[in-house]
Amino acid sequence: MNARAFVTGIGAVTPNGLDMTSTWDAVVSGRSGIRALEGIDVSDLAVKVGGQVRGFDPLAHVSRSDAKRLDRHALYGIAAAAEAMAGFAAHDPHRFGVTAATGSGAVSLTQEAVRALDAHGPRRVPPGVVVYGGPDAAAAFLSERYGARGAGVGTAATCASGAVGLGDALRAIRHGYADAVLVVGADDCLNRVNLAVNSMLGALAPGFADEPWRASRPFDRARSGFVMSAGATALLVESEEHARRRGADVLGEIAGYGVTSDAYHATAPRPDGSGAAAAMRQALDDARCSPADVDHVNAHGTGTPLNDAMEAAALHSVFGDGLGAVPVTSTKSTTGHLLGGAGTLEAALSLLAMRDGLIPPTINLDDPAFPELDVVAHDARPAALRTVLSTSFGFGGHNAALVLRAV
């Protein structure tokens, strides 16, 4: 088989909004979701800012007992899934799957269990940690909720997890293993442990307590690290036949996917960008298009010194002399970095950019470090978009790229 994979539903819970519409409106308007961190003791940490989800009520989506059992990242994913799934009914539940993509999984739930063990002994450790502490927790919950009896899995590839989950959904549909796959990318690592470790690695932007919205600075000379964020984005992916049969509104197509490993270093990317470039080329080949067909790149663009330099090199390798004609943006400048949830969020934003003919801006780009890139700075740019390349890279050398296409 060679079925096409259409996206028919999207949902989001992000620092920029509690649904996809409000998130898109904020991102395309250049309104940052990054604030001074609240509810976390950062007095002895260099990191003071982050992208927290505000105003979220888990009881609007799950029972009180489930709200206590599940990790925050899974709760965000369940809420995002409800938005993406509106109006959907699978023709055959055995051909409907769910993928939960996460870089770190139930970190808060696990850390709370350790604190309970240390403070009160083994009888106070919640037994649900065994069930809900894995990366597949949201997939298992959502499979039961929606009666999805196809593959229900957890996928982890650090910050490329969301893109890998979508790429796997494309392959499952293309080759006839599924009619529909709900892909949920989610993470919430905003806690003292994860903030401290990433700060010690030099990965996070320090300071900016007085101007938190200025902290995320992809492709700028003054960039000093990424800004960690929490949240989730869900995409419902269906075969063309399944989507047409039920008269679904189609947001776009996942046309190509590439995935590689740097096999180089635990945290640093290959400086020449060869692994990232290989993933991009694979995705383009998979979509049967050339670099000249790409109208826009939604870059991984974390704002770390190493990533942005590597990604600029990779883009130059793929696009060559035509690089300057391809508008690039990093929406992490407004959303922060959702880690394992970044790939799904940025795929969704790419689809909406095509729908509305509007490329979201890269805010805080005051002194471009890579003048060879046409980075859309400060304000959104109108553009006719039919093909968008979205990239995701992560610790461990994970590289993934998706080609999204208008239908």
Catalytic pick among 61, 159, 189, 289: 159
Determine whether 300 is an active site residue.
yes
Angle (nearest 5°) at CA 327 between 323 and 330: 110
Q: Does residue 63 sit in helix, strand or coil?
A: coil
Of 276, 282, 293, 281, residue with least CA distance to 387: 293
Q: Do the strands 49-50 and 35-36 form a parallel or antiparallel pair, or are they unpaired? A: antiparallel
Catalytic pick among 61, 242, 296, 300: 300
**Residue 91's Cα: distance from chain center in Å?**
28
Rounded CA gap, 84 and 142, in Å?
Answer: 12
Determine whether 398 is an active site residue.
no
> Which residues of 119-229 form beta strands (DSSP E)?
152-155, 180-187
Rounded CA gap, 386 and 406, in Å?
Answer: 5
Rounded CA gap, 210 and 214, in Å?
Answer: 9
Determine whether 337 is an active site residue.
yes
**Residue 107 · residue 41 · CB < 8 Å:** no
Catalytic pick among 61, 242, 296, 337: 337
**Residue 103 · residue 158 · CB < 8 Å:** yes
Count of C-beta atoms within a 10 Å radius of residue 2: 6
Rounded CA gap, 396 and 144, in Å?
Answer: 32
Catalytic annotation, residues? 159, 300, 337
